[in-house]
Copies of this chain bind each other. A is one copy, B any other.
Amino acid sequence: MRIGALEAGGTKMVCAVATEQGEILERESFPTTTPEESIPSLTSWFAERNVDALGIGAFGPTCVDPKSPDFGTILETPKLPWRGYALRAAFVDALDVPVGYDTDVNVACLGEATFGDSRGIADLVYVTIGTGVGAGVMCGGQLLHGMLHPEAGHMLLNRVPGDEGPCVCPSHDSCLEGLAAGPSIERRWGAKGFELADRPEVWELEASYLAQMCYNLVLCYSPRRIILGGGVMHQEQLYPLVREKTLRYLGGYITAPELEDIDSYIAAPSLSDNQGVLGCVELGRRALAAASA
């Protein structure tokens, strides 16, 4: 079987073909422009490769409820050409194969839980910290959707005393994305993260916000592991800081064997930035299995 994978991001579209076992056979990226420009070359790419099924992980907000008439449609995004675009339907129509669909962060979570070091962990949170912050959540083996999908990247945080930096979120005064995503680091310190690698105060502050986030994630989802990915986490000095501060925020309130091994509890992605693509493969595999059942 040849499973197609489409990681539909706000800046690029990553296409791949893989086996059901997650072996990536081919992979290519295209810039995300408008549906009129992007979609025909994407559908042709998959059609030429004769995929038996496709899995799509899309930027949000998007409708991930298979029972809704809007399933697979991009919703109120600031990327205006995509607003209201029926992304999944375009591939169903062009390819006539089973198409699975979820958010970009849920597929990254699924990729790690299926093919990564977190294989078999049924309660897993995957957070990407980059130009925005997004969380994919698996509870009891099911990806969490609810009425829309989680948007935990906008949870409230407490401003760290002394931090006068702006909250760059246009909708909220004191939210995670506004205080801790890449653009917030750049606005606060006047340079991009990778240019600030040798400024410990930058990462102390960033780690405090990410530790507040991890604290809330532990309390809300009680996951068995939290994976932190995305461009900001390329500053690997963050991991030990976030782990230490998370335990301090928890203050011993939650006791669980998983927390005693904090180095594996708060972990880096394990799939070399293929977690999203591989999650799409698993979505596609499931769509095919459901269609054949």
Copies of this chain held together in the complex: 2
Which residues of B lie under 8 Å from residue A256 when comparing CB positions? 147-148
Q: Does residue A267 face the partner (Cβ distance < 8 Å to B)?
A: no
CB distance from A193 to the nearest CB of B (A): 24
Q: Does residue A224 face the partner (Cβ distance < 8 Å to B)?
A: yes
Q: For the side of the interface on A, what is the size category? A: 35 or more
Q: In the docked arrangement, what's the CA distance between A218 and B150, Å?
A: 8
Q: Does residue A94 face the partner (Cβ distance < 8 Å to B)?
A: no
Interface residues of A in 192-238 (CB under 8 A from B): 212, 215-216, 218-224
B222 and A253 form a contact (CB under 8 A): no
Q: Does residue A174 face the partner (Cβ distance < 8 Å to B)?
A: yes
Q: Does residue A154 face the partner (Cβ distance < 8 Å to B)?
A: yes
**In-complex Cβ contact of A253 among B139, B172, B221, B224 (8 A):** B172
Query: Which of A145, A147, A149, A154 is most buried by chain B, counting CB atoms within 10 A of its CB?
Result: A147
Query: Which of A150, A159, A250, A254 is most buried by chain B, counting CB atoms within 10 A of its CB?
Result: A254
Q: List 30 A-B contacts (CB under 8 A).
A: A61-B254, A61-B255, A75-B255, A123-B146, A139-B140, A139-B144, A140-B145, A142-B142, A146-B221, A147-B258, A148-B222, A148-B254, A149-B222, A150-B220, A150-B221, A150-B222, A151-B218, A151-B219, A151-B222, A151-B254, A154-B219, A156-B156, A156-B212, A156-B215, A158-B158, A158-B159, A171-B252, A171-B253, A172-B251, A216-B216
The 9 closest A-B pairs by CB, nearest first: A146-B222, A123-B146, A171-B251, A171-B253, A220-B220, A147-B224, A151-B219, A147-B256, A152-B220
